[in-house]
Amino acid sequence: MSSAAVTSSEFLDPHMLAKLRGLELRAARIVEGYVAGLHRSPYQGFSNEFAEHREYTPGDDLRYVDWKVFGKTDKFYLKQFEAETNLICYLLLDISESMQYQGPTAPLSKLTYAQCVAASLAYLILHQHDSVSLATFDDDVRQLVRPSSSPTQLKQLLHVMEGTSAERKTRTGPIFHELAERLTRRGIVVIVSDLFDNPEAMLAGLKHFRHRRHDVIVVHLLDPAEIDFPFQHVTLFKGLEALGDVVTEPRSLRAAYLQEVGAFLQQVRTGCRAQQIDYLQVRTDERLDQVLTTFLAARARRIR
């Protein structure tokens, strides 16, 4: 099926997204599909200093139409204001081995989904002329791309992301502390991870970001199988990240497992809320617009 045969918003569905190859294409389709569904254009500044005119596109705020130019030329032009370029978005992408997991019903692995989320955010941010930075981590910081708003930044980020391989264990707590020290300029920190680590250490790391006055958005990615535990027959669960193997009859263990997972999610959610961190739990079979909406809300909050 060609991408032309479907409307762009359908690419928000990970099942459709899975049919596309290339992170850039996926990011473009996600953002376009998302933007097409919005009533307001996200591509606008919020500064008071006039910068230039640009042609009206449907969805633009009519408040910024330059009626004088319309009177002279009979064409709609919008007044564009010089954007404040102090917005920096740090994308922290978990590339530990557990992110490789792809359940039987999931269209994408957690890592691929996370890459799509990060890429589409980068695409959106760069189109708003904001700066974006990317860090990949597992038990250490693997790659750190400095923040930039240049149009070539997207290429670089996509290149980094596509070159990742998930092989190692997670160590979120120390990594977050380290990054909080290294990311000195205030900005929006978007963490895309399954957070399968010690929750206390991880929350302590998040707190460090907040201490540095970053806005933090935690995108907690979980595979549907990890939430529903749909297994029926005796299964050998081969632990990723060298956690050992478990043979069990999953039906009898399902309730207890779900209880454990529920307790973990609750702890993370409560911890984030306590630190005024935007927490977003996302299943890898969910549409991606939720993530973008949450991000834009955070951005709008920051600019105001």
Partner 1 sequence: MNITVDRFSLILAFGFGSAAMLGWLAAAAAPLLIHLWSRRRYREVPWAAVTFLLAALRKNSRRIQLQQWILLAMRTLMVVLVVLAIAEPHGQNLAAGVGDVPTHKVIVIDTSFSMAYRESDASLLTKAKQLAGELVAQSGTGDAYTVITLSDRPRQLVGRDMVDRSSIVAHIEAIPQTQGGANLAATLDAVSSALELDAKERDRWTRQDVYFFSDMQRKTWAADGAGVRLGELAKNASISAVDVGAPRATNLAVTELRSAAPFATVGEDVAFDATLHEFGDEPRKEVRVEFLVDDAPVGEQTIDVPANSDASVRFTHRFRDAGSHAVAVRAASDQLEIDNTRWLVVPVEQQIRVLCVAGEPEDAKYLAAALAPDPSTESPIRPQVISESELVDTDLTGYECMFLSNVAQLTADETERLTHYVDAGGGLAIFLGDRVQAESYNALARGEAPLLPARLTDVRTEVQFGVDPLDYRHPIAAPFRGRERAGLLTTPVGRYFRLEIPNEHSAAEKALALPNGDPLVVTAPHGRGRVVLVATAGSLSSVDRTNGEPWTTWPAWPSFLPVVREIFAFAVGGQHEQWQAMIGGPLTATLPFDRGSGDFELTRPDGRKTSLPVAVSSRDQPWHYDETDVTGIYSLGRGGALVSQFAVNVDTHESDLAQIDPHQLPAEIKVRSDWRSANGVVASGVLSEATWNRPLLWAAAALVLMELCLAWLFGRGAA
138 lies in the binding site for partner 1 (CB under 8 A):
no
Quickly list DSSP for 254-286: HHHHHHHHHHHHHHHHHHHHHTT-EEEEEETTS
Binding residue for partner 1, selected from 11, 113, 123, 196, defined by CB under 8 A:
196
201 lies in the binding site for partner 1 (CB under 8 A):
no
Could you give the CA distance from residue 292 to residue 31 in angstroms, rounded to a whole number?
A: 8
> Amino acid identity, residue 3?
S
Could you give the CA distance from residue 7 to residue 152 in angstroms, rounded to a whole number?
A: 27
209 lies in the binding site for partner 1 (CB under 8 A):
no
Check the CA dihedral 245-248-254-256 and report its sign: negative
Binding residue for partner 1, selected from 246, 297, 300, 303, defined by CB under 8 A:
246
Helices 110-127 & 289-303 angle (0-180, nearest 10)? 40
Binding residue for partner 1, selected from 24, 94, 215, 226, defined by CB under 8 A:
226
The pair of structure tokens assigned to 220 is 């907690």
Q: Measured from the CB of residue 139, what is the shortest distance to partner 1 in angstroms?
A: 15
Question: Which residues face 221 on adjacent strands?
Answer: 282
Residue number, 34 or 101, with CB nearest to partner 1 = 101
240 lies in the binding site for partner 1 (CB under 8 A):
yes
Binding residue for partner 1, selected from 38, 239, 297, 300, defined by CB under 8 A:
239
Residue number, 130 or 223, with CB nearest to partner 1 = 223
Question: Given the rule CB under 8 A, which residues bind partner 1?
Answer: 97-101, 110, 194, 196, 223, 226, 231, 233-241, 243-244, 246-249, 251-261, 264
